[in-house]
Amino acid sequence: MVVEESANRLAKKQDFIHIAILLVVALSIGVYLIATTILIAQDGVSYINYAKGLAATPLKIIRDCSEYAPRAYTPGYPFLILMTHKLVDVFGDGSTVSSWVYSAQAINLLCRILALIPLYLIGKEFVDRKLSFWAILILVMLPYPARMGSDVLRDWAHMLFLATGFLLLLRAAKSGKGLLFCLAGLIAGFGYTIRPVCAQLIVYGIFWLILALFIQKVRGNMSRAKLAAGLTLLIIGFTIVAAPYMKIRGEFLPLRLQQIMESFSSYFVHSGPQEQNISGYAAKLVPSDITKAFGKLANRILENLMYYFAPALFIGMYYHFRRKTKSVSTFFITAFVLANIIMVILRYHVSPFLSRRYILPLITFTIFFVPLGLQIMSRWVVKVFSKGVNQHEALQSESRRWFFVLLIIGLAICVPKLFRPIRIEKKGYRLAAQWLKENSRKGDIIVVPDERISFYAERKGIRRVGKSARYIVKRLKDEEEPPAGMIKMWSSYLNDREKKDKVVIYKRK
């Protein structure tokens, strides 16, 4: 008993050290990326405007945010921005654009850092604590996920709730504790207000609980009464948060899901009589560009993993699922991977564009298999290059050495892109905004190719040229004549000749 308690204390101490190292590394990288950010994401302007709208008329903005942001946006992340900005406002001037931008970036970075804790603990369910540590370290060092964590985007806020809810659901399914099911539902409800796809946790939980109710092998020693209570508490926990939001919003289903359903229902509505059969429906329900969608998905996964770590991911996943086919954790990770692949494909079908951001959940929840794959690859290398080594301990030592060689090579590949300032290629936009802020008047209307220019300049921006516009900002590939009635005032490429991004400002005569 004493030995077991000592081992538990040692294990907890190791977990604490691992998590502390990961948080410090992630914080250091995140602060550097925030400090060197040239330009925030286009969506970031909408999130900040949404947050400003919440401060003025919250219920109205939640019902319809189209004046400030796309209709599909949800209030969770803008609310976090608003709360962070209120805190910043206590210690300084909160009226500036920079205060809003830094508030949004800071809360996003905090969410990324906090999300690493449940992700590390989830990793321990699939691999051991050491491999989980290396997996999260790789995730911290991957350039694209890191940049998302220091930008003005909701993806890591969503990941925080998704990972926490997944961990609670996993622990609940193993222990049968009703409180954990309720907490998982609550977390999924809060995550739903950030990104509605967080409701997938409820689907996994309900599906597993129903299976367990009817299949003895699934439920193990848990009674049906416990499972029924867990199912009820899971739904109640989600409803407590999600139902009021749905009521205010006036929608039971998320807008994206409505679009997908409408897209597929249109196939049935427009089908002719000769197509009204099962085979006809099946052909219509499968998009003609399904192969292109899977190709795009694979390409985005490769990009997120810097290509180098992708083989290790697939090898690790194959080894894990071949070795462990019957467990609660395997059920949930399998459901998660399949569901998220389907959601990405459906999204691509409705809107044929696949951002790296949409792949983030798949990357973060499968990253644990990367060091497992590296471990297997290191054994293969030892077998090829160390044929003369026969002792088991010597083989193990060689394998560990090669594991770290492969790991260090991968991390080294990440470094140049990781520390590249966010959107440095858009430096011309930021320079144009600065010039307009210093040389134009508050009431001036500016025609801009990108709303971030007018956002940083703190001026009203429009997209089309009109008589009310005093300035026009244009992005040029080559030299062009000034628009009629305008004179050239400033050019970014005259200030920064090494940049390809050419931005020119014209002023009405």
Residue 153 CA to residue 46 CA, distance in Å, equals 10
Q: Are residues 164 and 236 both part of a single domain?
A: yes
The H-or-E segment that residue 84 falls in is: helix 76-91
Q: Rounded CA gap, 284 and 278, in Å?
A: 10
pLDDT at 349: 77
Are residues 195 and 268 both part of a single domain? Answer: no
Output the 3-class SS for 370-385.
Answer: HHHHHHHHHHHHHHHH
| DSSP character at residue 275 | G
In which domain, by residue range, is 465 found?
Answer: 424-508
Give the chain's residues under pLDDT 50. Answer: 271-285, 498
Q: Are residues 164 and 226 in the same domain?
A: yes
Contact 197, 72 (CB under 8 A): no
* 214 sits in which H/E element: helix 200-214
Determine, yes or no, domain membership for 391: no
Give the burial class of 3: count Cβ atoms within 10 A of its Cβ; 0-12 exposed, 13-18 middle, 19 or more buried: exposed
3-state secondary structure at position 503 = strand
Helices 76-91, 178-192: inter-axial angle, 10-degree rounding: 80
Is the residue at 131 inside a domain?
no
- Note whether 164 and 220 are same-domain residues: yes
Q: How far apart are CA 299 and CA 294, in angstroms?
A: 9
Is there a single domain that holds both residue 439 and residue 485?
yes
Inside any domain, residue 92: no
CA 116/CA 140 separation, integer angstroms: 9
pLDDT value at residue 378: 93
> Which of 150, 163, 186 has its CA nearest to residue 116?
163
Whether 268 and 255 have beta carbons less than 8 Å apart is answered as no
Between β-strands 486-491 and 502-508, what pairing exists: parallel, antiparallel or unpaired? antiparallel
User: 234 and 264: one domain?
Assistant: no
Q: Residues 230, 167: one domain? A: yes
- Residue 325 tokens read as 């086919």
pLDDT tens figures, 240-296: 999 999 999 888 777 777 766 666 665 555 544 444 444 444 444 455 667 888 889
Q: Which one of 230, 252, 274 terminates a domain?
A: 252
How many structural domains are present in the chain?
A: 3
**Cα distance from N-terminal residue to C-terminal residue, the chain:** 87
SS (H, E, C) 149-202: HCCCCCHHHHHHHHHHHHHHHHHHHHHCCHHHHHHHHHHHHHHHCCCHHHHHHH
Residue 71 lies inside a defined structural domain of this protein: no
In a shared domain, residues 238 and 171: yes
- Which residue in the block uniquely carries the two structure tokens 């604490």? 16
417 domain-assigned: no
Element (H, E) at 470: strand 469-476
Question: Whole-model pTM?
Answer: 0.90
Query: Read out DSSP for 355-373?
Result: -GGGGHHHHHHHTTHHHHH
- Cα three-residue angle 134-140-142, rounded to 5 degrees: 100
Tokens of 275: 């197509």
Domain boundary among 269, 286, 303: 286
Pair (279, 202) in one structural domain:
no
In a domain, 440, yes or no: yes
Q: Is residue 456 part of a domain?
A: yes
Q: Are residues 190 and 244 located together in one domain of the fold? A: yes
- Residue 202 resides in a domain: yes
Do 264 and 240 have their domain in common?
no
